């Protein structure tokens, strides 16, 4: 019974990873759907305007820094995905490094985030900017 559950879980994870990678590939080759974007007072910001300057592992923590290259202050959401040696997704997490604060244009925001136990032994860690949002201040 446990083996069947494990197989079902593995299949679901594999299907989700395939769908996610297919969508990501479409965005990389220029699909018709735009990148997540935000606008404010005539300025705009896209996820592609955000730079992941640093993304490292330090013990049980992820240490990183994001830079806002938009013309407006903006909130930034990042997704971290851990993969095993065969490329399968082991864990994924997304968060707002500056919480509900906007990051000023050309400013950076450093962050620390705990590595979950399920991903502690994995070597591959991938970061993606998945959303930008203008927070009301």
Query: Is the model's pLDDT at 74 over the cut of 70?
Result: yes
Helices (H) and strands (E) in the chain, counts: 1, 8
Q: Can you give the pLDDT at residue 44?
A: 85
Run of H or E residues at 18: helix 2-28
Provide the residue ranges of all domains of the chain, joining segments of one domain with +. Answer: 1-33, 35-133
pLDDT at 129: 96
End-to-end CA distance of the chain: 52
Q: Please, what CATH class does the domain formed by 35-133 belong to?
A: mainly beta
User: Which tens digit of pLDDT belongs to each residue from 91-109?
Assistant: 999 999 999 999 999 999 9
| Residue 10 pLDDT greater than 70, yes or no | no
pLDDT greater at residue 2 or residue 102 = 102
pLDDT, one tens digit per residue, over 16-66 is 444 444 343 333 323 333 346 777 766 789 999 999 999 999 989 999 999
Tell me what pLDDT residue 120 has: 84
CB contact set of 89 (below 8 Å; sequence gap of 6+): 13, 16, 17, 20, 81, 82, 83
């Amino acid at each position: 019974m446990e083996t069947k559950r494990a197989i079902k879980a593995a299949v679901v994870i594999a299907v989700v990873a395939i769908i996610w990678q297919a969508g990501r590939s479409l965005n990389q080759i220029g699909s018709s759907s735009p990148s997540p974007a935000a606008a404010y007072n005539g300025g705009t910001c896209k996820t592609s305007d955000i730079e992941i300057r640093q993304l490292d592992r330090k013990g049980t923590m992820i240490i990183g820094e994001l830079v806002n290259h938009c013309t407006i202050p903006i909130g930034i959401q990042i997704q971290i995905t851990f993969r095993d040696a065969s490329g399968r997704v082991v864990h994924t997490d997304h968060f707002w490094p500056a919480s509900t604060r906007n990051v000023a244009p050309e400013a950076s925001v450093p962050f620390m985030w705990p590595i979950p136990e399920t991903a502690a032994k994995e070597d591959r860690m991938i970061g993606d900017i998945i959303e930008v949002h203008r927070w009301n201040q």
